[in-house]
Amino acid sequence: MTDLPQILSGDYLTIFDPLRLHLANESEGMKVKLGHIASAFPNQILPFGFFMQDSPTSPFAGTVIRCPLRSSPSRISDQVVTPEVVSKLFEEFRKTQMHRDLRGRFEWRHPTLGLNDDFSCSRFSYHVQSDG
C-alpha cells in the first residue's frame, strides 16, 4: 500500500523510509519534533492539516497514521494501490465483526478523495476518531 508510512502523535512526526529513498543520509526513518519540521519542512506537515487545525507546532492530542498510496511498483511490492482499491478495502472492513465491535468506540467518517485539475488523485483519507 505504501513505501513511506508516517505517524503523527503528540509532539512528533515519525517517517519511515525502508527503501532509503526519500530521507537525508539514506536513513530508514526519522522522528522529528513538530516545531522543527513545521519550520524546516512545512510541506511535510501539510497532509496532516485537517487534523492539526489549531497549530502545526502544538502537540497533537491523538495519533494519525498516514500511508501515501504507492503509485508505482517498488522493491517492497509490485502492487500499485489506487484510491478505489482502498475505498473497497474500507467497505469490506465495514462489513466485518471487528468494525461492529469498534463502531461504538470510534467515530467513523467516510473516505475523502482529493483530485488534481487533471482528475488524478492528490489525496485520499479515511478518518477514525476515538469517542473517549
Residues contacting 24, CB < 8 A, separation 6+: none
pLDDT-based confidence at residue 119 (cuts at 50, 70, 90): very low
- Span 71-89, pLDDT tens digits: 889 999 998 888 778 778 7
Q: Residue 106's pLDDT is what? A: 57
DSSP bridge partners of 45: none
| Least confident piece of the model among 26-35, 46-55, 80-89, 106-115 | 106-115
Quick one: 78 exposed, middle or buried, by C-beta within 10 A (0-12, 13-18, 19+)?
A: exposed
Q: Residue 128's pLDDT is what? A: 55
Domain residue limits, the chain: 1-70, 82-132
